[in-house]
Chain A
């Protein structure tokens, strides 16, 4: 409790300073307003990509004074987000809790029976879609997708593909690659995308499917080379990297960055948060960040978002079934 109080006090202090500085507060949603600090549950541990992004949102909300109450990020990363999903399920009707999601929002309930049906949750807003790119070390001879496939085949299954934990996004993209090109790689799981990128540069693994934000620094320093992007159109930051689609291979995969709320959140509260994220998506900070990090800002809310979630869940169920059918490691 002491911890919570000091933290709240500190944040409240910040918020009030910001309010005075801003003069008249912006009139967000006339009706309902949060009565206490808003808890932002994060489906991942501290320091990962999802956590960093959630904290970026928090700081923009605070800086631009988009909420009348402070936002408190809370990490519940246990069990690939199972902990967060269970927590949200147990918060039915709560108007002061929102959750930042990633793709484990679908895969975790599909892989382990945790008694959660994501259809029950209230969708708030999808902020962005993160992209995936196939990377090799810049010292490697591989320049094109054909080179890559040939090299993997020549290795006889010893090609080392690094990625995040088994069953998480990177391993799904790897499984899609294996299926499409009829290749077999040795998948080496690491704890986070940054760790994966470092091991590629250090020559401990042969390729990765990192998000651009994780490999961008090394790319700019000339240490890694993008081979192909798993997006429908070329990514602005890598204009010379072809997409798999344009090479005739239908592999497109996204990591969604969205916010959802507990079941039966009051409609006025849903409207409040939707508007809050709408304003957030229009801020200059967010626009710059998405451009720099090759994120696709793609704002979506309400029923459309729910439809998107359910469609994605079906897609993931199919990919997972494929992976398990192979009996691949």
Chain B
């Protein structure tokens, strides 16, 4: 087996004392960078990039990959503990992670996130090891029509669900889609919905700003109202017994986690998508295939495991087009690509042939980084949980500060801070009126992708709508989308219209 021999050589590189130390250092730094709202893997990699000149290129890329992975793990931490997505990729983790923390199960949620990340990361690296080169061809087969069909499928998993009011879900998706059209239109190059030339709207509305607003600020407002002055955050503790109970709970989630891994890896591979849509799609699919969809959004452990497997798997997946095609699947891999160019490595179809030492050193370090990340993460859980035990009056102020910093840091514009405040109030009101917030965030993430691919297909096919169905890959996705949409409807009709009235989110 050629692959295994190459991988063994790779391990010889990645397990050298220097590289092992680099992995541990990188993962720890990444964990904290990821946990800090507003600082994601992009920032982590950007900060460290110039530092990498002091080590050889193979160690440098290992350091960057370790930070990338660590940040992917870390994003879940503030999503669960504070309800603010620590990184854009961890938005979906707040849906169920935060309710779990409020029920005093923060420790369990953090374990679920760590283990799920590990499973997602490892399964995807195995896929990467075995099929990197043939899979690159699959990424090429994805044109605009296929992208559109895939995104449509993600939407239907959110619409056709039990639990939430279907009409309200559709309203929220539409609202999200409208928000996603703000900014410069790619196809015509003209600005849209910029509210009388406000320069801040030129670059569109970042979904992270929306997520921080509705989940971070909105959540605090809601908690302030419901709890008045009495703190209602259950003091969370974590013991060894809980740790093993957590592990056992994860055992039942194999189906969700393997589905999340495959989906994440696959979506991450598509240059236009990346880890955030992957996590949201995995959440939607876990929910629509679950036997008890109404428990999602209220602290279901599956709702934490699904997006966390998917976002880690996607982070591996997006390395694939970067290495094999020279096309980054995410902003972070774009920076990694820049790094490789700096060290004189040329990513692209020839890399695997010309630089096997580098490629396999990197792949093997992904295995090592995964082990290091899960170990360090679990070891630090008691510390994170302990942080939750501070009084709500203090925590509340910290959360608001973090929300503002997190919104300001990526773009460095006050415009986004004002938007966060606005979305916070809107999120609070929508929540009071029982409108689900997850579809809103989903629509803002996927909306631009969907619109772009839809219009690209129609332009390329001279307006022929049938193009979506005629192409085998996109036809399959469209059929699946129809199934996801109709299935819950059939279930609902069978039950004779006895609709379960469950409050949203």
Contact = CB atoms under 8 A, between A and B. Distances in A.
Interface string A150-163: 00000000101000
12 contacts: A10-B48, A51-B334, A51-B338, A56-B338, A74-B412, A77-B203, A79-B184, A86-B199, A188-B144, A199-B143, A205-B460, A221-B350
A250 to B, nearest CB: 26
Interface stretch (B36-44, B118-126, B385-393): B36-44
B189 A80 contact: yes
Nearest to B462: A158
Given A6-B47, A111-B189, A202-B140, A195 B39 contact: no
The bracket for how many chain B residues form the interface is: 35 or more
B321 A186 contact: no
Nearest to A190: B456
Contact of B51 (A14, A158, A166): A14
A299 interface: no
B346 interface: yes
Contact of B325 (A46, A48, A198): A198
Interface stretch (A57-65, A125-133, A273-281, A311-319): A57-65
A202 B412 contact: no
B199 A83 contact: yes
B188 interface: yes
Interface string A73-94: 1100111101100100000000
A216 B405 CA distance: 40
Contacts of B189: 80, 111, 165-168
Contacts, number: 158
B311 to A, nearest CB: 18
B42 A3 contact: no
A191 B272 CA distance: 9
A78 B199 contact: yes
Contacts of A191: 186, 272, 452
A71 to B, nearest CB: 9
Contacts of A136: none
Interface string B328-348: 100100110110011010111
Contacts of B459: 186-188, 329
Contact of A194 (B42, B48, B54, B327): B327
Interface residues of A, number: 65
Give the 3 A-B CB pairs with smallest separation, nearest first: A217-B348, A47-B334, A78-B203
Interface in A1-45: 1-4, 6-7, 10-11, 14, 17
B49 interface: yes
B187 A217 contact: no
B191 interface: yes
A6 B48 CA distance: 11
Contacts of B452: 191
Nearest to A63: B53
Nearest to A79: B202
Nearest to A195: B271
Contact of A112 (B47, B144, B191): B191
B140 A194 contact: no
Given A51-B334, A220-B350, A221-B348, 9 more contacts: A10-B51, A11-B50, A47-B335, A51-B338, A83-B203, A166-B189, A188-B456, A198-B139, A288-B344
A160 B460 contact: yes
B342 A59 contact: yes
Contacts of A66: none
Nearest to B401: A2
A239 B53 CA distance: 34
A289 B338 CA distance: 12
B141 interface: yes
Interface in B339-385: 341-342, 344, 346-350
A52 interface: yes
Contacts of A58: 50
A234 interface: no
Contact of A204 (B49, B143, B335): B143
Interface in B268-310: 271-272
A202 B347 CA distance: 18
B328 A194 contact: yes
B162 to A, nearest CB: 36
A100 to B, nearest CB: 14
B488 interface: no
B142 interface: yes
B409 interface: yes
Contact of B405 (A3, A78, A189): A3
B146 to A, nearest CB: 9
Contact of B42 (A46, A78, A218): A46
